[in-house]
Structure 1
Amino acid sequence: MTTTTPSRGLARARRGLAPGGGGKPGADGGLNRRSRLASQATRTFFWLLLPSVFLLILIHGYPLVYAGVQATHDGSLIDTGNFVGLDNFANVLGAPAFWKAAQFTLVFTIVGVFGSWLVGMGLALLLRTRIPAGGFFKVLLLLPWVVPIVVSSTAWNWLVATPDSPIPAMSRALGLGTPLFLANPTLAAVMVCAFKVWVSFPFMMMMTSSALSSVDGTVYEAASMDGASRWQQFTGITLPLIARSTYISWILMTIFCVNDFPTIYLLTGGGPVDATTSLVVLAYRRVFQDFQTGPGVAIAFLMTITLVVISAVLYRQIRKSSVE
């Protein structure tokens, strides 16, 4: 008969062995092994991810820290300069040029986001219907987005830049005068906003088309049987069902518009008389033309903070939208 002392029994119990058994592991032993395996897997994933995380920090973190250093100094592109604290931010916020650029950036962003969304959504809804050569038209409508921005801006300059350009010449032939689209401040702002809608609506069209393709057609059939009109189906079914995709496209297009440098600079250069100078163009001028690195980077930081706030607000709307 085998006897087991209390101390030996406790030791065997800690190892998950029965008091009189032959050493087979119990449930606790299996849990311990699984815990050790999970810990080993966690350590393995950590060491595998560490090089990528370090590379991301090096690529994005270092420039961000260095930009923060420049924003708090009065240096140039070749010299950091003296530490001035938040004076650059105070000077930027107190400059009329900043608020004028911020006003145009706001108008440019609103028109760019909602103008391209309305055009893109309208075309996406149109392409859902049975129209001849629908695939060909889809490819054709992508051209403004696919063509390089340099080519598009050159084409628009050719259309409106001088009094002898096609559109001013056509207006003159119709007896409407000769509008100077890129010399008049108001017309230049209108042209820049229209150009942004032109190059951006294909993106919105693709986002909306992708969202509409996931909507079940039987929902519309049921709504039609209940007597819902086309407008009621659009406002009560289509818009709620594509709400998340819509908010995501708004976030992306807002970022694109606020950070859009080539669309404005290639078409008008920010003129005339700074009528089309956005914040990103103003930051570029401060850094690369006036060699005032501190104020230029401060403008960029203010833009980043604004974009983070807008993105956070729209992201909350994405979470609130109940789409099943």
Structure 2
Amino acid sequence: MSSTTAQSGLARARRGLAPGGSGGRPRNEDLNRKSKLSGQTTRTFFWLLLPSIVLVILINGYPLIYAAVQATHDGSLIDTGNFVGLDNFTSVLTSPAFWKAAQFTLLFTIVGVFGSWGVGLGLALLLRTKIPAGGAFKVLLLLPWVVPIVVSSTAWNWLVATPDSLIPSIFRNLGLGTPLFLADPHLAAVMVMVFKVWVSFPFMMMMTSAALASVDTTVYEAASMDGATKWQQFTQITLPMIARSTYISWILMTIFCVNDFPTIYLLTGGGPVDATTSLVVLAYRSVFQDFQTGHGVAIAFLMTLTLVIVSVFLYRQIRKSSVE
């Protein structure tokens, strides 16, 4: 039998656990009482939540409205300037620098999300097996995520920044030349993406480990008895069972990557020749270096709109997940 047999068994088990039988219908008095209690509970929750909702709206609403005002004016940090409507958005969308930054942001996000997820998933599966000192190994794997980004970026700069750094020296001693990892545009982009995967995979590992812990091991035993291979168990059981957690981690990591300023700025500053300039770095330069607040805020609004679209798409994938 194939692994689909195991899946059919899971589906039958889920149906078997559903409430069944031919119990009597509830009385009208019971239904009315439950409806009344439900309405009272809803009103109570509403009045309890209302102060928090108002506070959240005030805290987040004012910055959002002020940012919208800045995006439609040609001012600076200290002066709102004149109203220009959507000219800032038009200027940004017709700028080659914006599209170059958008292209790098897209590539950076794809590598960051799926690279860290792949490494995290592999390590999470490894940690499920019995390995010597598994607890200590897991703690060590968390260090790239726990260590402050300033410390990590300083360490990576020490490793690759100059021709006399450790890794270029190793390449040179092996007769492979002296690669300038942060001076060459292509190598710098690769290094930034690898660095992002390095600092992000522990988060993905923890998310995946938590999801795998909820998977009943008897499912794999049943699949093995049905003749399913390890690969079939992974693709037909493991991945579907952790699908919802996977989509949630993708949403979070997408937001982290698109909004990631320190990883890029501390390692390369967006250089060389803007090869590693992402949208958030471009927005920062526009506001705090070029003093074009309208352009920078317009970039931020476009980033937010993109993140909302991606998040909605992935959230729909969560709802479509067939595994409960």
TM-score using structure 2 length = 0.88
Q: How does 1:189-228 map to 2 (within 5 A)?
A: 189-228=189-228
Q: How does 1:105-116 map to 2 (within 5 A)?
A: 105-116=105-116
Supply the distance in 1 between the matched residues of 2:119 and 2:38 (Cα, whole angstroms). Answer: 52
Q: Alpha carbons of 1:281 and 1:230: their partners in 2 closer, same or farther (altered >3 Å)?
A: same
**1:281 counterpart = 2:281:** yes
Supply the distance in 2 between the matched residues of 1:181 and 1:244 (Cα, whole angstroms). Answer: 37
**1:261 counterpart = 2:274:** no
Q: Cα deviation per residue 1:25-63 (whole Å; 9 max; x = unaligned)?
A: xxx9x9999999877765554443332122111111110
Q: Alpha carbons of 1:238 and 1:36: their partners in 2 closer, same or farther (altered >3 Å)?
A: closer
Residue 24 of structure 2 aligns with which residue?
A: none
Q: How does 1:1-324 map to 2 (within 5 A)?
A: 44-324=44-324
Percent identity reads 85
Q: Alpha carbons of 1:119 and 1:82: their partners in 2 closer, same or farther (altered >3 Å)?
A: same
TM-score using structure 1 length = 0.88
Q: Cα deviation per residue 1:163-201 (whole Å; 9 max; x = unaligned)?
A: 110000111011011100000000000000000000000
Supply the distance in 2 between the matched residues of 1:222 and 1:38 (Cα, whole angstroms). Answer: 43
CA RMSD of aligned residues (A): 2.0
Higher relative contact order (CA 8 A, sep 6+): 2
Residue 20 of structure 2 aligns with which residue?
A: none
Supply the distance in 1 between the matched residues of 2:48 and 2:223 (Cα, whole angstroms). Answer: 52
Secondary structure of the 1:164 match is: coil
Secondary structure of the 1:81 match is: coil
Supply the distance in 2 between the matched residues of 1:209 and 1:239 (Cα, whole angstroms). Answer: 12
Supply the distance in 2 between the matched residues of 1:35 and 1:254 (Cα, whole angstroms). Answer: 42
Supply the distance in 2 between the matched residues of 1:248 and 1:164 (Cα, whole angstroms). Answer: 42
Supply the distance in 1 between the matched residues of 2:232 and 2:116 (Cα, whole angstroms). Answer: 23
Q: Cα deviation per residue 1:78-115 (whole Å; 9 max; x = unaligned)?
A: 01111110000000000000000000000000000000
AA matched with 1:104:
F
Residue 25 of structure 1 aligns with which residue?
A: none
Supply the distance in 1 between the matched residues of 2:40 and 2:217 (Cα, whole angstroms). Answer: 49
Supply the distance in 2 between the matched residues of 1:42 and 1:205 (Cα, whole angstroms). Answer: 38
Q: Alpha carbons of 1:219 and 1:176: their partners in 2 closer, same or farther (altered >3 Å)?
A: same
Gaps in structure 2 of 5+ consecutive residues: 1-27
Q: State the shift of 1:228 in Å.
A: 1.1
Secondary structure of the 1:100 match is: helix
Question: Looking at CA atoms only, which structure, 1 or 2, has the larger radius of gyration?
Answer: 1
Q: State the shift of 1:76 in Å.
A: 0.4
Q: Alpha carbons of 1:38 and 1:213: their partners in 2 closer, same or farther (altered >3 Å)?
A: closer
Q: Cα deviation per residue 1:110-169 (whole Å; 9 max; x = unaligned)?
A: 000000000000000001011000000000000000000000000000000011100001
Q: Alpha carbons of 1:86 and 1:218: their partners in 2 closer, same or farther (altered >3 Å)?
A: same
Supply the distance in 1 between the matched residues of 2:114 and 2:36 (Cα, whole angstroms). Answer: 54
Supply the distance in 1 between the matched residues of 2:237 and 2:307 (Cα, whole angstroms). Answer: 30
For structure 1, which segment, 42-51 or 187-196, has the greater mean C-alpha deviation from structure 2 after superposition?
Answer: 42-51
